[in-house]
C-alpha cells in the first residue's frame, strides 16, 4: 500500500505532459476535531493518490489545510469523496484565479501540530467565536468607511506584490508576529473602530478574528474566502476590484494576477516588477523579486557571490555545501542586506496613526 509520494518533481512533470490532461488548482480549509490525524492522513493519501491529486496538505487535531491540483475531469470524484467526510461535506473550494497544470508536482500530506503556525494556545480562548464574514460587495463598502482599519494578515513578501487599497500591511515574516503588533497598535480603538482582516484564502483570519475578539475588540470582520473568493465574486457580480497587483500563492505559480497594477520593484535594480524567484545557488535559495534583465545578468542569482558559485561545476558546488547549513538569508525572504531595493522596514500603522 503506497502512503508516500514516489516520483520526483521532474518525473511528475513529464507524466503530466504525457497525459495531456488539464488540471485544476484549488484550496480549502476546515477547522474540525480530528481524533487520529495520522489515520486520517493515510486515508486521504490512498484516496487522493488514486485520483492523481498533487499538492501540499496539512492535517492536525484541529482540522485540515489543503492546497492542491487534480485532473479537471476527476473533480466530481474528488468532490464526492470530500462530501463523504462529515466535516468536509459541501466545503467551499477556492478555485485558483489562474490555472497551471504544474502548480504542484508532488502529493505531500503531513501531520502537524497546527494547520497554520499561529503560536497560540487554543485552550485559552474560544476559537469558534469568530468575526463576521463579509462577502466582496460588503467588504468593498466596509473598507471605504473612515471608521474601518483594514489589515492584511499575510507576511511582508506576500503583501509586497499585492494588497487592498489603503490596507495596513504588517512588516512581518510570520503570521504569529502580526497578532501582537496589531493588538498593541490598535489597543485604544477596540470599541470605536471596525477591524477588518483579509488573507489569501481565509484560514489565517479564522483564527485571528477569534483571537482579537478574545482580546476585547468589539467589531471584528473578515473577508470570506480571502482574496481568491473575493476575486471570483468581483468577476461574477461585476464589482469594483479594490485589490492592487498580484496575489502571492504557495505553489509553483508563485502568484495570481488580480489587477494590472505593479506595486513592487526588482530588489536588484529598482525597476517596477512583481515576480518572485529563488536564487539559483542551491546553498542560498533566497526568495526575492528579480526582473528579467537582472535575471539574465545575474544568472538568476541574488548576488555576485552566488552567481560565481552557481557557475562552478555541480560537484564543486556540492563540496562547498558539505557541512554547511542554509544561509539565514533564506528566511529573510527578500530582506537580505545585499539587496539594494528590498522592501523598507516601517511602522505598519504610520498611515493609520497619521489620520487620528
> Which pLDDT score is estimated for 28?
97
Residue 173 burial by Cβ neighbours in a 10 Å radius (0-12, 13-18, 19+)? middle
Site of grid cell 539574465: 296
> Which pLDDT score is estimated for 342?
84
Helix (H) or strand (E) holding 139: helix 136-142
- Catalogue the active-site residues: 199
Q: Is residue 180 part of a domain?
A: yes
* Residue finishing a domain among 111, 140, 169: 111
Q: Is residue 96 part of a domain?
A: yes
Query: Residue 290: which domain range?
Result: 264-349
d(CA 82, CA 85): 5
Within 8 A by CB and 6+ apart from 120, the residues are 176, 179, 207, 211
Q: Is residue 251 part of a domain?
A: no
Q: pLDDT tens track of the chain, all 356 residues?
A: 678 888 899 999 999 999 999 999 999 999 999 999 999 999 999 999 999 999 999 999 999 999 999 999 999 999 999 999 999 999 999 999 999 999 999 999 999 999 998 888 888 988 889 999 999 999 999 999 999 999 999 999 999 999 999 999 998 988 999 999 999 999 999 999 999 999 999 999 999 999 999 999 999 999 999 999 999 999 999 999 999 999 999 999 999 999 999 999 999 999 999 999 999 998 888 999 999 999 999 999 999 999 999 999 989 988 888 876 655 455 567 778 899 988 765 555 555 555 54
In three-state form (DSSP H/G/I as H, E/B as E, the rest C), the secondary structure along 35-76 is CCHHHHHHHHHHHHHHCCCEEEEEEECCEEEEEEEEEHHHHH
> Which pLDDT score is estimated for 354?
53
d(CA 19, CA 31): 35
Q: Is residue 307 part of a domain?
A: yes
Domain total in the chain: 3
d(CA 98, CA 18): 22
The answer on 183 and 89 residing in a single domain is no
Q: Which of 200, 207, 209 is nearest to 132 (CA)?
A: 209
Q: Is residue 18 part of a domain?
A: yes
**Sign of the C-alpha dihedral, residues 303, 308, 312, 315?**
negative
* Residue finishing a domain among 206, 239, 272: 239
* Residue finishing a domain among 188, 206, 239: 239
Site of grid cell 503556525: 117
* Cα-only R_g, the chain: 21
The answer on 128 and 103 residing in a single domain is no
The answer on 161 and 79 residing in a single domain is no
The answer on 100 and 153 residing in a single domain is no
CB 247 within 8 A of CB 227: yes
The answer on 126 and 100 residing in a single domain is no
Q: Is residue 61 part of a domain?
A: yes
The answer on 319 and 228 residing in a single domain is no
The answer on 25 and 62 residing in a single domain is yes
The answer on 192 and 104 residing in a single domain is no
Q: Is residue 245 part of a domain?
A: no
Q: Is residue 270 part of a domain?
A: yes
The answer on 234 and 126 residing in a single domain is yes
Within 8 A by CB and 6+ apart from 283, the residues are 306, 309, 317, 320, 321, 324, 326, 327
What is the CATH number for 178? 3.40.250.10
What is the CATH number for 91? 3.30.70.100
Amino acid at each position: 500500500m503506497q502512503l508516500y509520494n514516489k516520483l520526483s518533481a521532474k518525473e511528475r512533470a513529464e507524466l503530466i505532459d504525457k497525459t495531456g490532461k488539464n488540471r485544476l488548482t484549488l484550496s480549502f480549509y476546515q477547522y474540525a476535531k480530528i481524533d487520529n490525524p495520522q489515520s486520517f492522513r493515510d486515508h486521504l493519501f490512498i484516496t487522493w493518490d488514486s485520483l492523481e491529486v498533487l499538492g501540499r496538505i496539512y492535517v492536525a487535531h484541529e482540522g485540515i489545510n489543503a492546497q492542491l491540483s487534480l485532473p479537471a475531469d476527476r473533480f466530481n470524484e474528488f468532490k464526492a469523496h470530500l462530501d463523504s467526510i462529515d466535516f468536509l461535506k459541501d466545503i467551499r473550494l477556492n478555485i485558483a484565479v489562474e490555472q497551471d497544470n504544474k502548480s504542484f508536482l508532488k502529493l505531500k500530506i503531513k501531520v502537524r501540530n497546527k494547520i497554520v503556525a499561529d503560536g497560540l494556545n487554543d485552550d485559552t480562548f474560544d476559537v469558534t467565536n469568530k468575526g463576521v464574514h463579509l462577502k466582496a460587495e460588503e467588504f468593498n463598502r466596509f473598507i471605504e468607511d473612515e471608521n474601518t482599519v483594514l489589515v492584511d494578515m499575510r507576511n511582508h513578501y506576500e503583501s509586497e506584490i499585492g494588497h487592498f487599497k489603503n490596507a495596513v500591511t504588517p512588516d512581518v515574516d510570520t503570521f504569529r508576529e502580526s497578532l501582537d503588533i496589531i493588538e498593541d497598535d490598535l489597543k485604544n480603538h477596540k470599541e470605536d473602530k471596525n477591524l477588518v482582516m483579509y488573507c489569501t484564502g481565509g484560514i489565517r483570519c479564522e483564527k485571528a478574528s477569534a483571537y482579537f475578539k478574545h482580546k476585547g475588540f468589539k467589531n471584528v470582520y473578515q473577508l470570506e474566502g480571502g482574496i481568491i473568493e473575493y476575486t471570483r465574486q468581483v468577476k461574477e457580480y461585476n464589482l469594483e476590484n479594490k485589490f492592487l497587483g498580484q496575489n502571492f500563492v504557495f505553489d509553483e505559480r508563485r502568484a495570481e494576477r488580480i489587477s494590472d497594477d505593479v506595486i513592487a520593484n526588482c530588489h536588484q535594480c529598482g525597476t517596477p516588477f512583481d515576480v518572485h524567484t529563488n536564487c539559483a545557488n542551491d546553498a542560498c535559495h533566497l526568495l526575492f523579486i528579480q526582473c528579467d534583465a537582472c535575471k539574465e545578468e545575474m544568472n538568476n542569482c541574488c548576488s555576485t557571490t552566488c552567481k560565481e558559485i552557481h557557475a562552478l561545476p555541480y560537484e564543486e558546488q556540492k563540496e562547498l555545501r558539505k557541512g554547511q547549513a542554509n544561509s539565514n538569508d533564506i528566511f529573510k525572504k527578500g530582506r537580505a542586506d545585499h539587496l539594494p531595493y528590498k522592501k523598507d522596514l516601517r511602522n505598519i500603522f504610520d498611515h493609520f496613526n497619521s489620520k487620528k
